[in-house]
Amino acid sequence: MPPHTEATFLLLLLLLLCFFSATAEGGSFARLGVNYGTLGNDLPSAARSVDLLHSLGAGAVKIYDANPAILRALAGTRLRVSIMVPNEVIPSLGVNACAADAWVATNLVPFYPAVRVRYLLVGNEILSYTSLANSTWPFLVPAMVNIHRALSARSIRDVKVGTTLAMDALTISFPPSAGAFRSDIAEPVMRPLLRFLHNTRSYYFVDAYPYFAWASNPSSIRLDYALFTSNASFNYFDPGSKLTYTNLFDQMLDAVAAAMCRLGSGDVRIAVAETGWPNAGDLDQIGANVHNAAIYNRNLARRLAVRPAVGTPARPGAVTPVFVFSLYNENQKPGPGTERHWGLLYPNGSKVYEVDLSGRRPLDSYPPLPSPQNNEPYKGKIWCVFGGDRKAAVGAALAYACGQGNGTCDAIRPGGPCYKPNTLVAHASYAFNSYWQQFRKAGGTCFFDGLAVQTETDPSYGSCKYASLTI
């Protein structure tokens, strides 16, 4: 064959060998896990939450710190448990083996083995924050090494050590076969991290959200492809690997696999630390609704329950631990509206929609879902106004909003067109909206600790005019 054809063939062969090398040993992992966050002021007790996890058919749970009440509630259950080590302690654990040993002694040993801890995840998406590049990144792998040594010193051999990484650890994710890590982390962080995961037979934990990929580009990515409901005519053929994809989730995982292959670590197994779909969101957040969330998580559960495991096109047969985000809608999570609406359950414990995480329930046995109302981009005007019930907290929020930007609150000063009615609530609505209109593109949100909401109704009155965001 011609030299260039031969080179292409050899490259493809090496890529496929790298991909498939990780599929031989998948281990076993029963049922979907669930991320159990606690950023809400109205959530059930830990004991009640564990009962609810069982009722959903969950096989595992991931918690964001070593919460003693939650760990006590998990003791004696069959749930496999993942505990996160907070970002802020990584530097101390990385430079001081005694500190890592003390962390294990305090946060794991009192509960193990009554609690079936299987993973300690050191840090949460720390490589997504360039502000941590100097203070934390260099200590990530040393902290993991020290935690692993502390476990080994106590003959704890069934707890794997890892860390969670978002998809933005990759600089290229499409096509999947071109997956590559960012240049700022590939050599200094990823190579030693992957070496550690290989040597300890642990997993690369990725936070993989097809929702975000689709929502950022709905004109190019089909919604049904993101929800596991696409038909064969819309499959994607990767020209680099010659593999065919039926859904976005598999594409994302195989992009990570390709990136690892490029660093010589194609045998490291992949786990999904977070995935899911929001059940609601802000007016301008496309596709965040109960219908799509139910379809996504039901199809995910059915897919992962299949035995032998389906795997992905690049890793057929691989068994992948997966944790759905999240157990509850958490009302104190900052950010856009979707951040507070990922839950399988409302804070009162009732289901947002029916789902069986064991994957045993036939899809056609579920009750009808409400029709989606926002699967197309929002078109119209949006304002941000006061919508909370904690009037005692309005003063601080108002002061914050007025302290940002230039002229943010000029209209509500004495003599201004929006000064009257001279009430905290009225002034807060103007200030929230003025702030949001100025800073939305820079990451500002219409939240204000739960005091603000978006509206399609123009709050302007008389000579008081509210600026609006037109989508």
Three-state SS annotation for the chain = CCHHHHHHHHHHHHHHHHHHCCCCCCCCCCCCEEEECCCCCCCCCHHHHHHHHHHCCCCEEEECCCCHHHHHHHCCCCCEEEEEECHHHHHHHHHCHHHHHHHHHHHCCCCCCCCEEEEEEEEECHHHCHHHCCCCHHHHHHHHHHHHHHHHHCCCCCCEEEEEEEHHHEEECCCHHHCEECCCCHHHHHHHHHHHHHHCCCEEEEECCHHHHHHCCCCCCCHHHHCCCCCHHHCEEECCCCEEECCHHHHHHHHHHHHHHHCCCCCCEEEEEEECCCCCCCCCCCCCCHHHHHHHHHHHHHHHHCCCCCECCCCECCCCCEEEECCECCCCCCCCHHHHCCCCECCCCCECCCCCCCCCCCHHHCCCCCCCCCCCCCCCEEEEEECCCCHHHHHHHHHHHHCCCCCCCHHHCCCCCCCCCCCHHHHHHHHHHHHHHHHHHHCCCCCCCCCEEEECCCCCECCECCCCEEC
Could you tell me the two tokens for 288?
């965040």
CA–CA distance, 237 with 464 (Å, rounded to integer)? 55
Q: 274 catalytic, yes or no? A: yes
* Marked catalytic residue, from 125, 187, 339, 456: 125
Say if CB 81 and CB 60 are below 8 A apart: yes
Say if CB 144 and CB 119 are below 8 A apart: no
* Marked catalytic residue, from 187, 274, 354, 456: 274
The catalytic site residues sit at: 125, 274
